[in-house]
Amino acid sequence: MTSPIKPPGGGPPKVPGADAQQPDPSKAKGPEGSREAFEAALDGADRGADARAAGPVDAVVADLRAGKIDAAAAVEKMVQEALSAPGVAQLDAAARAELEAHIRHTLEDDPNLAALVRDLDR
């Protein structure tokens, strides 16, 4: 269906950025070239010291595997670790207690998390 109404100037309206140069599809490397470029970018990426250092979770896992702590102590350490996060320090005592109650309730009430906690005893 065509309309007898035409924009001023007689032609179609100009789209901003339509004159920008489009990439040349003949220069595409294909899936293999993309994978290689992606892997090279990952290899050159700085993962940071935090990613390389063992964190508190790793310490809890190591203690649990070594038999130094049981599953309940591991969960308690992880809850305390969550409560020591930088954002939590800004909460007042009531909000912090509410957050702790919410974390503990979720660990018990959510079937997936409860199953993970039970699996710690294995």
Residue 97 and residue 106: Cα distance in Å, rounded? Answer: 14
Q: Please report the pLDDT score of residue 4 as a whole number.
A: 73
Other Cβ atoms within 10 Å of 88 Cβ, number: 13
Q: Please report the pLDDT score of residue 111 as a whole number.
A: 93
Are the C-beta atoms of residues 69 and 60 closer than 8 Å to each other? yes
Q: Please report the pLDDT score of residue 103 as a whole number.
A: 95
Residues 6+ apart with CB under 8 A from 96: 83, 88
Single-letter residue type at 50: D
Q: Please report the pLDDT score of residue 31 as a whole number.
A: 60
Listed as ranges, residues in the chain with pLDDT below 50 are: none
For 111, the enclosing helix (H) or strand (E) is helix 111-119
